[in-house]
Amino acid sequence: MITTDFVPGSPCWLDLGAPDVDAAAAFYGAVFGWQAQAFDEQTSSYKSFRLDGKVVGAVGQLTEEGARSAWMIYFSTPDIDATVKAVEQAGGSVRSAPSEVSKEGRFAQVTDPQGAQFALWQPGSYAGVEAADGPGSLGWVELYTTDSAAAQAFYGTVFGWTGQDMELPGGGGTYTMVTPEGQPPERMFGGVMAVPDMFASGDAKPYWHPVFGSADCDATVALVRENGGSVSMGPEDAEGVGRLAVCNDPAGAEFVVLTPSEGS
């Protein structure tokens, strides 16, 4: 589960790079009830998403040349310079060197050796999202990659994550659940899965995506469709996990909707 007492190596923030910030705000407002609010007058193109007054993420203008609209997952670190160095030494690359965001903290944009992009956040006065692990907020993150073992080795070196394998039913492959270094199993926050066929054409590259909670997966999926989004899988039941669907917003950014099963 994802909590807001962020330990090193845990997801702490996420933002959406969108070609049209206002359109994205309207879509997610309709689907999850989020309210978009500019952080200040100088950064009107970067807005927070709030649910019941608590920040659950953000949206900003897509700026990278040739980049597709996507959610970016940020992982917490107490020393961003050391973590960036660890990324490079483990075979990853740096897209954006560490920089300060006023007194709130420092961030960097990096890429793992298989090509999945993620970001780092060293908290100052701001630790990260203010609500998590509930309807309409981040509850899990997933990495789809070409090589699960290589990805696990990389993130294990950089963050010290530990993994627990789970065989998917019907020969669907191995799904590895990951936990921050030194934390108990109940602090698992995400999964890593190799899906090489997805990237065989070379048109796509490995990526992280967020899983948002929902009190009613089917109702949320209906709102996705009604507001111009699409559904690439589900809704369907996953034993021991819950009812889920893989969705895309109107600009193509992927996310998962999950209604957890009892006790999960």
Q: What value does the mean pLDDT take over residues 177-191? A: 94
Query: What's the CA gap between 51 and 123, in Å, rounded?
Result: 22
Percent residues over pLDDT 90 in the chain: 80
Query: What count of residues does the chain have?
Result: 264
Residue 167 has pLDDT above 80, yes or no: yes
Provide the residue type at 75 as one letter: F
Q: What is the mean pLDDT of the chain?
A: 93
Structural domains of the chain in order of their starting residue, each with its CATH number: 1-264 (3.10.180.10)
Q: What is the pLDDT of residues 50-89, one digit of tens each?
A: 999 999 999 999 877 777 899 999 999 999 999 999 999 9
Of residues 233, 210, 243, 235, the one with CA closest to residue 34: 210
Rg (CA), the chain: 17
Tell me if 247 sits within 8 A of 224, measured CB to CB: yes
Q: Which residue has the higher pLDDT, 102 or 119?
A: 119
Query: What's the CA gap between 164 and 144, in Å, rounded?
Result: 16
Cα dihedral 193, 197, 198, 199 sign: positive
pLDDT at 43: 61
Q: Which residue has the higher pLDDT, 134 or 234?
A: 134
Torsion on CA atoms 48, 53, 56, 58, rounded to nearest 10: -10
Tokens at residue 105, please? Answer: 């903290």
b/e per residue, 182-211, with b = 16+ CB within 10 A? ebeeebbbbbbbbeeebbeeeeebbbbbbb
**Residue with the two structure tokens 């050391």:** 82
- Give CA 225 to chain center in angstroms: 21
3-state secondary structure of 81: helix
Q: What is the pLDDT of residues 107-134, one digit of tens each?
A: 999 999 999 999 999 999 999 999 999 9
Query: What's the CA gap between 14 and 11, in Å, rounded?
Result: 8
pLDDT at 247: 97
Query: What's the CA gap between 162 and 152, in Å, rounded?
Result: 8
pLDDT at 110: 98
Provide the residue type at 106 as one letter: R
- Give CA 160 to chain center in angstroms: 19
pLDDT confidence tier of residue 168, bands split at 50, 70 and 90:
confident
* Strands 35-38, 93-101: pairing kind: unpaired
**pTM of this structure:** 0.95
- Give CA 13 to chain center in angstroms: 8
**Residue with the two structure tokens 């940020």:** 74
pLDDT at 1: 81
